[in-house]
Structures are given as C-alpha cells and as structure tokens.
Amino acid sequence: MKHTRLFGGLAAATVAAAALMPAAVAAQDGYTIGFSNPGGVGNGWREEMICSAKAEALASGEVTGMNIIHRNTDAAGQLEDIRSLISAGVDAIVVNPADYEALNPALQEAADAGIVVVAVDAPVSQPTAYNLSNNQEEYAYLGATWLFEQLGGKGNVVEMRGIPGHPADTDRHEGFQRALAEHPEIVVVKEVSTNWDPATGAQQITDILNAGTQVDGVWTSGIDSWIVDAFITAGAPLVPIVGADNSGFVTQLLTTEGLVGAAVTNPGSVGGAGVRLAIHLLDGMAAGYEPGPEGTILLDPQLWTNATEEGKAALAGAADPSLDPSWPLGLSIPDWTTYTKEQLLACKAPGEA
C-alpha cells in the first residue's frame, strides 16, 4: 500500500484541505468530537493516543464534548461504533481504523451527514476522509534496515508483528519486506502476530527461545521492553532488538548492559493531531468554506540507536522516567498539538471532572 505525502503541517494542510481558513471560528455552541478506537485497550500507545485526543480537545477551547468508543473489536464492530457516533450527532469523527477499506460504508454515511472524518495512525481508502498517519512503512523499513546492517547482512531474525489486517501492521510488514529484499542473506526464522499485546509477545519469544531456535536479532512492532525482559528471564544472550520510542525500552537502551538496539519514533499523540485537524476543518466550514480535496499526511519517523554516540544522545534527550514505561515518548507533535504535558497526563476531555 503506497501513500503520498501531501501536506507537512497544519499550515500546509490548511491550503490543501479547505482554502485559507480563519482560525478559531467555532460553532456557537462548540463542537462535539467522536473518537473510534477498535483495539489495544490497556496498550500504552493506544492509551496515550486517547489521552492526547482528550487533551487537544480541551486545549482548543472549541470542543464542548467528546464521545469516545475505545474497545477491543474488529472491523465489523468498528462499523457499528462509527454508526453509533453518527447517530449521536457528533460534528467530527477521529478514527484509528481496523481496516483500510472495510469501514468505507460508515465513513461515507458520516460524510453524507456532514460529519468530518479524520483517520489517524493508519489510513483508510474512503475518499471523503482525511488521513493523518505515522509513516508506518518507513517506520518498519528504518528499523529493519538498521537491524539487518547491525547483523552484517547475515543471520536469523524474528519478525514480531501487530494486529493482523490492521492497516498499520500491513504497512509495517511491507516496509520490513522492502528492507528484507535488500538483504537477501537475512532469514526470517519466525513471524508472529502479537496483536500489540505485551504478554502475548513475551510468551511468543519465550516459546521461540525454549524451542532452541537460533535467533540473531528481533524486530518488534512496539512491544520491545517486554521482549528484552523475556530474553533476560530466559537467561538467553541478548541480541540486537528494534522497537518503538516507548519509555521503558528507551530506558533499557540506556541502562541494560549488553543490549544493543534501536527505537523508531511512532507518536501516540497522533490522536491529538487528528483532533486538531478535525477542529481546523470544522472552523473552515463554520466560516462558510467547503472542505477541499482530501489526502494523506504522513509524519516521518526517526531512529535512535544506542550503537552510536549520536544515537545515545538522542535517547538520553528523549528519556522521561516519569512516564509509564509503555507510553511512547512523542508526547506532542510540533505544528500539530497544542496541549501541555500536564493536560496530556491528566487525560481529561472537556466536561470531564
């Protein structure tokens, strides 16, 4: 699945999305924002995404209420959730999609009802929706390329994927495969789907190690620190490990003796950025503008490795021991989010005590 970067920030998105919109022209009674997330309840990344959406809605001063449906379900269940938000009469829906195409009927119904739709974290194919995504294919390509080069282009690796069918997982697998094609002597000895559940991933890698499989490196789809812990618990020698910029993993990269690894940024705060884009589009509509051509906004990832002094400095600069270990360190996105760290950690939407 290929995507094109159409805009790079909110100012650029303004031009592409709806002509020059005046700022802060909210509806008289304020907006109601719906949010649909179909999985990863309890996963630090998903929880940060929800909190960032709440914080951005609160910081905007333009949102009076949020209707958040945050549960573990599949694409069929998410279709029901989106239709529930439509029936509730929300002004905009921010959605982390369970599928690239399956949600399109409900997303079209939202568009027909005049509801703005923004997909975050991963894209949808519905032409009336706006996509604001972390560049998931590049995320995987960066990490896999680093891993394969760290191994000298030879060795056995484990690919630990996320939720099967989720667009972000599909894109990451494509990025991983692209890197693999460039390193033909790398062998994937095991490919597993973790469902982005740390306990599942830890058990999977434990089973692989207990089976005596030769493992020279591990690429994980964001459940990194638990994989490190599983190696240590099993008494297995640490191998190069790739993960995300989760607080616990970054701390391990800075403090765990013998661990060589890389963290690739993947901000959960894309949820807040999606709310900001939705508000911006609603402001333009309130001022009499019609939303313009839809498109995809891709946020570029960075790679921080403890194998270089430059990388260590980046890791040290990002580390935040005050955060939950499962939370990613990209608490905000420049030009996209406006809340404070305190508002994010409070995780309160407008009207919540």
Least confident interval from 27-31, 161-165, 184-188, 228-232: 27-31
Q: What is the CATH number of domain 136-264?
A: 3.40.50.2300
Q: Which residue has the higher pLDDT, 9 or 31?
A: 31
Reported pTM: 0.87
Contact at 8 Å (CB) between 69 and 98?
no
Domain 10-134+268-299 in CATH: superfamily?
Response regulator (3.40.50.2300)
Name the nearest CA neighbour of 195 among 223, 224, 217: 223
> Token pair of 36, please?
């649909």
Query: Quick check: 10 pLDDT over 60?
Result: no
> Token pair of 173, please?
């697998």
pLDDT band at residue 288, thresholds of 50, 70 and 90? low
Q: What are residue 32's DSSP bridge partners?
A: 65
Question: Does 136-264 match 10-134+268-299 at the fold level?
Answer: yes
Domain spans, the chain: 10-134+268-299, 136-264
Least confident interval from 232-241, 254-263, 289-298: 289-298
pLDDT in tens, 66-114: 999 999 999 999 999 999 999 999 999 999 999 999 999 999 999 999 9
